[in-house]
Amino acid sequence: MRLTRPTLSPSHPLAIAGVYALISLLLTWPLILHFGDAVPAGGDAWENIWNLWWLRKAIETGQWPFHTDYKYFPYGVNLYFDTIVPLAGLLGAPLQWLGLSLVSTYNVLVLLSFVLSALGMYLLARYLTADTVASFIAGFIFGFCPYHFAHLYGHLNLMWMQWMPFYILFLLKAVEGALGQGEQRFAPTEADATPSPAIGEGWGAEQPAPTQSPALSTQHSALSTLRNALLAGLFLVLNAYSEWTYAIFLGLFTIFYLLYRLWGLRREGRRMVRLIAPLAAMGGLFLLLTAPVLIGTIIEIRTVQYTQLPLTEQLYYSADLYAYITPSTLHPIFGPAVTAIGQRFDAPPGDLVITPGITPLLLGIFALVVWKRRAVRFWGWSALLFIIVSLGPILHIANNTQFTDFNGSMVMPYALLYELPFFSVMRTPMRFAVLVVLALAALAAYAVKYIRARPGGYVTAWLIPAVLLGLIAFEYITVPVPMSPPPQPLTFYHRIHDEGGNFAIAELPMRPMVDYLTYQTISDKPIVGGHLARQPIDKFAQEQPALRYFADGYPAAQDGAVLNGVGAAALAKAGVRYVAVHWWALTEAQKADMHQKLYAVFGNQQPADYAQDQMSVYRTAP
């Protein structure tokens, strides 16, 4: 008897994931060459690396991960509104235990976000179209879109958008399963692309007609629907523990999908009732698994002021309609030419790039023209809805907010959303662009499926899709990705790592700098202040005369509250053992002021100078 070697179909998710992994390595080049010694772009990446370090420490010591005493010594600080990614930390901790450095761990998680984002969209598109080639292109659009690469520049939490298509996939399966229990379902074949609503709405192409007896089929369908609902709830949880903003986005998507779906069934009340159980299971699982963090977040919103941002933040982080058709500023060819245009949009670089690409836009329009089913039109309405929402409270077009001779502004629907819970603390309407890309990816899958089903043999089935994929890849290319090594060497922090006693370090200048977080991953000691996505008031810095004196903008003239060792002694008594001065972060004028302040606080003490690191270190007590 001959044993045959099992083969992996080219359309199998593992095979598709392998291809996406290779594409990830190519499009993030030269990340693979610096896997252990640099991260893409740097910047906020160092804060996310600190998050990985802290989450591993919290797991090892059994601490609540959403509060740390390592920042804002001695009171600590809550991390509900930081860029912490608990799920990434949970996956990153074993990698660190296996010996990977923080830099390598971060890079693994970066690449994982590309692979899983593309794979999730592939699976969703395959459910919708049953076309492997069309689904692969849809996965490429979502997984490697400019929005994703823009957040490669330090925003690991926003890069982790991979769970969104998985959630939508199982949401659709649960809803369509509930609505179709015990009924013959429309199941188009690979060749079917005829936009004929008469033979069904076509919400899911991978739904075979039942072959069992009606009773068994109904029972099996009910269990399958419940399973899909629970999986949808689980993936919504994964979204929340990656980036709460995305979970809120998906909540809005779910409401729109259900309203759209139920409108089509408005005369079939009995079928609507079937949705209650799966939706309750999905929502119940989500609330059960997120309750501790959700409750903590709500308490934080109600009790501290720093979570509430001024309305100008919502305007600043609103999308410009023109940005949807402007090439990515990260593009190696078009980027320099459009940078000047992009600067007019008055937005931070990481949030400026929201274009889905011209080719996906055209494919989306084409799909809406040739397909007439409500299931296809839903994705068109979704794209339009989230474009409108991403524009924020006031319409922006090429950085203009006032139109006509009357200089009037157009108030947008987001102004109403702002009044809802959580939206008032969510400062970035433009990030709804991620759902625009997802909807256009689904439409692109329908468009490619239609093209592949047309007469033409090899040309329509393979050549045209390959050309389309090539055009999309050209629009999305960002290589070479700039790499940023961690600051080295840092002799002082390595030296105090094993120093006994419970003490903290005050870093000067007293600014929320991510560099200080990198140093802390080496020293393993608490620091005064710190860097968060939203900065709370530093109560300890206000209480300590020496820290007030060292603050930027405080006059360098001698302050009696810190002279004769009084300020240093107060720091020592509070638990601050070292004051580290980073000269590289100061201008010449600031250096002169800092020397004067250091003399007032420490007198003639000779600091430990680390010339290679451009820093000096003072002890608060002999």
Phi and psi, residue 533, nearest 5°: -60, -35
CB of 146 closer than 8 Å to CB of 358: no
H or E element: which one contains 178? helix 163-179
Task: Write the DSSP symbol of residue 613.
Answer: G
Model confidence band, residue 196 (pLDDT cutoffs 50, 70, 90): very low
CA distance 236 to 232: 6
CA torsion, ordered 17, 23, 25, 30, to nearest 10 deg: -170
Position 312 scores a pLDDT of 77
CA distance 534 to 47: 13
Does the global pTM surpass 0.95? no
Write the pLDDT tens digit of every residue in 126-176: 999 999 999 999 999 999 999 999 999 889 999 999 999 999 999 999 999
Write the pLDDT tens digit of every residue in 443-465: 999 999 999 999 988 999 999 99
Write the pLDDT tens digit of every residue in 232-258: 999 999 999 999 999 999 999 999 999
Position 406 scores a pLDDT of 77
Write the pLDDT tens digit of every residue in 202-235: 566 655 444 555 554 555 588 899 999 999 999 9
Phi and psi, residue 154, nearest 5°: 105, -10
> β-strands 77-78, 483-484: how paired?
unpaired
Is pLDDT at 50 greater than 80 in this prediction? yes
Q: Which residue carries 């006994």 as its tokens?
A: 500
The tokens describing 469, both together, are 């994929």
Write the pLDDT tens digit of every residue in 519-566: 999 999 999 999 988 888 899 999 999 999 999 888 877 777 888 889
Angle at the Cα of 26 from the Cα atoms of 158 and 361, rounded to 5 degrees? 60
DSSP secondary structure of 425-475: G---GGGGHHHHHHHHHHHHHHHHHHHHTSS-THIIIIIHHHHHHHHHHHH
Is pLDDT at 343 greater than 80 in this prediction? no
Q: In terms of DSSP H, where are the helices of 311-431?
A: 311-316, 335-343, 349-352, 358-370, 374-390, 414-417
Position 428 scores a pLDDT of 86
Write the pLDDT tens digit of every residue in 350-380: 557 899 999 999 999 999 999 989 899 999 9
